Amino acid sequence: MVCSSVKVGQNCLFMSKKGCGFNGGTCHIIVEACEGCQKAVQYPVGKYCISFPDPAAKWHTGNCSMATHLEATTKKETAKVNPLKASKRQGR
Ligand code: SF4
């Protein structure tokens, strides 16, 4: 159903005729770590995530899995380096 409280006009699974059914009855504002993410959208009442109603929970156990602003750094960090080949390269 279309949200009529915070993310006005956006389709939401938590919205019903009785109002927002999410924990606390409303979405929660983004956290500092969300700044720069393309999914953080400014609404008249504040900045909210278009994917998750509680952004703080997404960052609770590490990086948010849907964050768009972490993609470049995450790929670099996960590039595997074979220590044996790396030491051979240094020797050249
Ligand atoms: S997708 Fe993750 S990082 Fe981006 S705004 Fe939502 S909770 Fe924050």
pLDDT tens for each residue of 19-71: 899 988 899 999 999 999 999 999 999 999 999 999 999 999 999 999 999 86
The predicted pLDDT at position 72 comes to: 57
- pLDDT score, position 24: 83
pLDDT confidence tier of residue 73, bands split at 50, 70 and 90 = low
Best of 66, 69, 70 for a ligand 1 pocket test (most atoms within 8 Å of beta carbon): 66
Task: Please give the tally of structural domains in the chain.
Answer: 1
**Residue 9 covered by a domain:** no
Assign 75 a pLDDT band (cuts: 50, 70, 90): low
- Spacing, Cα 44 to ligand 1 middle (Å): 18
Whether 5 is in a domain gets the answer no
Q: Compute and round to an integer the Cα radius of gyration of the chain.
A: 20
Instruction: Look at ligand 1, atom 4, and give the residue with the nearest C-alpha.
Output: 67
Residue 2 DSSP one-character state: B
Is residue 64 within 6 Å of ligand 1 at its C-beta? yes
86 close to 46: Cβ distance less than 8 angstroms = no
Decide: 39 in ligand 1 pocket, CB within 6 A.
Answer: yes
Pairing of strands 19-20, 15-16: antiparallel
Query: What span, in angstroms and rounded, lies between the C-alpha atoms of 37 and 18?
Result: 31
Answer yes or no: are the C-beta atoms of 71 and 39 closer than 8 Å: no
The mean pLDDT of 9-27, rounded to a whole number, is 90
Containing structural domain, residue 74:
15-91
pTM of the model: 0.71
Residue 1 lies in a domain: no
In a domain, 77, yes or no: yes
Pairwise CA distance, residues 69 & 34, whole Å: 8
Question: What whole-number distance in Å separates Cα of residue 77 and Cα of residue 90?
Answer: 20
